[in-house]
A = this chain, B = another copy of it.
Amino acid sequence: MPTAEAIAQSGDRVSNSAVIQRTFSVLEAVAASGCAAAKTVATRLEIPLPTVYRLLNELADSGYLVYLKDTKRFELGPKCFELGLSFQQRLVAPHPIRQITDQLHRSLGTAAYFAIYRGSDIILTYCSDCEKHPRLRPLRFGFHEAAHATAFGKILLAGMPEPQRTDYLEARGMQVLTPQTMISREALDPHLAEVATRGIAWEHEEFLPRQTCAAVPVRNGTGMQVGAMAISTPSSKMVGRAKEVESTLREHAGLASSYLRGGSVTVPVAEHA
C-alpha cells in the first residue's frame, strides 16, 4: 500500500495496475514461503479468497506456479526456473572472459572474479574458484550489494560519475560487515578518488575477516570502464605478493579489455594448475 508520502519521496509513478501488482505479490508470496496454500496467501496478503484463487490459477496456467494436489499447495513452476536461466545466460560473462578469469585464478592461486555495470546495478558475471582456492562464500553470480566493501565494488564505484555513485550508495546503504568496513562517504570518497587515480582497488578485511581482495578496471573499445577483474585470497597468503598480484591482475584485465575492444579472440596461454 503506497502511502502519499511514499509517492512524494520516490520519483517513480505509482499509477500502477492493481491486477498486475496483486499477481506479482501472490507469486512472490509463494516464492517466499517455498510453498503456500491458497488460504495462507489470502490471509497474508489480505486479498479475498476467490480472487486469490483466480490469480493462483492464472499463474499456474501460465507455468509460473504449479499446484501440488497431494499437499494442496502451490509452488514455483517451470517458468520461474526459465526466467532465472534466461537471466543467467544473458548476463554470464562471455566465454573468452571466463577463460581469462580462469587463467587468472590458476596463475595466482586465488579465486578470481569478473563483474560489470548494468544500468545502475553491479553484477558479478563470473566466479572462478576451486576447493583449494575457494571464492568468498557470499559472492556468487548475480547482483552485488556490498560494493563499498569489496575490491571490485570499489573499482566500479570509483568509475561511476558522482551523482550515480551517490544514488547507488543511498539506494542500498553501506552495511557494516567487518570492523574495517568503510561506512561513511567521508571515509569512502577520498579512498575511491585514490582508487581511481591508481587504477587498482585493494580491500583488506573490509568484507570478510582475514580476507584480502584486489581489483582493476576492464575497459571497452571506447576506453570506458565497463567492468572489473578481481581476485580474493586469505590475507595470510598475500604478504609480500602485492606487486606480483597487481601485475598479473593488470595483465589479465588487459586481455579482457582487448577482447572487449577487438571482439577478436584473445588466446589465453595454457597453464598447469
Instruction: Give the distance in Å from the alpha carbon of A27 to the alpha carbon of B23 in the complex.
Output: 14
A6 within 8 A of B: no
Instruction: Give the distance in Å from the alpha carbon of A87 to the alpha carbon of B13 in the complex.
Output: 31
Contacts of A87 in B (CB 8 A): 31, 76, 80-81, 84
A90 within 8 A of B: yes
Within 8 A of B (CB), among A130-159: 142-143
Contacts of A85 in B (CB 8 A): 84, 142
Instruction: Give the distance in Å from the alpha carbon of A142 to the alpha carbon of B143 in the complex.
Output: 22
Determine which of B17, B31, B84, B119 lies in contact with A66 in the assembled complex, contact meaning CB atoms within 8 Å: B119
Instruction: Give the distance in Å from the alpha carbon of A28 to the alpha carbon of B54 in the complex.
Output: 21
Closest chain B CB from A211 CB (angstroms): 24
The size class of the interface chain A forms with chain B is 35 or more
Instruction: Give the distance in Å from the alpha carbon of A58 to the alpha carbon of B202 in the complex.
Output: 40
Closest chain B CB from A40 CB (angstroms): 16
A86 within 8 A of B: yes
Instruction: Give the distance in Å from the alpha carbon of A70 to the alpha carbon of B164 in the complex.
Output: 14
Dominant SS among interface residues on chain A: helix
Closest chain B CB from A156 CB (angstroms): 16
Asked if residues A76 and B66 are in contact (CB atoms below 8 Å), the reply is no
A61 within 8 A of B: yes
Asked if residues A75 and B118 are in contact (CB atoms below 8 Å), the reply is yes
Contacts of A16 in B (CB 8 A): 58, 61
Asked if residues B69 and A119 are in contact (CB atoms below 8 Å), the reply is yes
Asked if residues A20 and B21 are in contact (CB atoms below 8 Å), the reply is no
A271 within 8 A of B: no
Determine which of B13, B81, B90 lies in contact with A142 in the assembled complex, contact meaning CB atoms within 8 Å: B81
User: Can you name 28 A-B residue pairings with CB atoms under 8 Å?
Assistant: A12-B61, A16-B58, A16-B61, A17-B54, A19-B20, A20-B23, A21-B58, A21-B62, A24-B62, A24-B79, A31-B83, A31-B87, A34-B90, A35-B90, A66-B118, A66-B121, A68-B119, A69-B119, A75-B119, A76-B90, A78-B121, A80-B83, A80-B84, A80-B86, A81-B87, A81-B88, A83-B84, A84-B85
